[in-house]
């Protein structure tokens, strides 16, 4: 996966491959070590999970899901609720329209609680339920910084709302 992603970045001119690998038709299987080198500029923040998650948010937006704590009351009223989430021992996620579940093969499927109320996902699969695959829990700040356009409603005195597709994010203080 690392080689595929790295060569895609090289193909669009985002990074430069070493001269040995720039010859067309040359096999690129030996690039894994080069892509793993932490001294390369593109790997400078690879050990900082907050930076990696922010990049994932920027790349996967608008594939965002939130728990009830992450959605303001006005938006939650538009979401199709199935069962009471209070009796469940795991976080209940919503994609802005309905309840969704983390796919059982995902490492996040066994979460009982999470630090943040938002996640990004690569794909949504519908079988007997709607499942999210390849999920990453993200901070609300990632959505605010990298999640598309923001509509700030200043008429509210104590809170400011940021509109997402199907979601409303609520801040604790008014932003000036």
Domain ranges across the chain: 2-47, 52-170
pLDDT above 70: residue 162: no
Strands 167-170 and 161-164: antiparallel
- Residue 23 pairs in a beta bridge with none
Q: What percent of the chain has pLDDT over 70?
A: 70
Cβ neighbours for 11, distance < 8 A, ≥ 6 positions apart: none
| Nearest Cα to Cα of residue 164 among 88, 96, 93 | 96
32-79 pLDDT, tens digit each: 888 888 898 888 888 999 999 998 898 898 899 998 887 765 455 566
| Total Cβ atoms within 10 A of residue 162 | 21
82-121 pLDDT, tens digit each: 655 555 778 899 988 899 999 999 989 998 888 888 999 9
């Amino acid at each position: 996966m690392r080689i595929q992603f790295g060569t895609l970045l090289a193909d669009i001119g985002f990074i430069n491959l070493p001269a040995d690998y720039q010859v067309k038709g040359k096999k690129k299987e030996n690039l894994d070590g080069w892509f793993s080198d932490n001294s390369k500029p593109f790997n400078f923040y690879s050990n900082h999970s907050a930076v990696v998650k922010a990049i994932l948010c920027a790349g996967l937006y608008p594939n965002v899901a939130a728990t009830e704590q992450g959605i303001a009351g006005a938006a939650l009223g538009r979401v199709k609720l199935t069962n009471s989430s209070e009796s469940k021992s795991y976080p209940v996620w919503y994609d802005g329209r309905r309840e969704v579940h983390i796919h059982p093969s995902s490492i996040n499927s066994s979460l009982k609680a999470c630090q943040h109320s938002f996640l990004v996902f690569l794909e949504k699969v519908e079988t007997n339920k709607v499942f999210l695959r390849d999920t990453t829990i993200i901070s609300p700040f990632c959505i605010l910084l990298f999640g598309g356009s923001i509509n700030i409603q200043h008429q509210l005195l104590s809170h400011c709302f940021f509109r997402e597709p199907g979601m409303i994010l609520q801040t604790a203080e008014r932003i000036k």
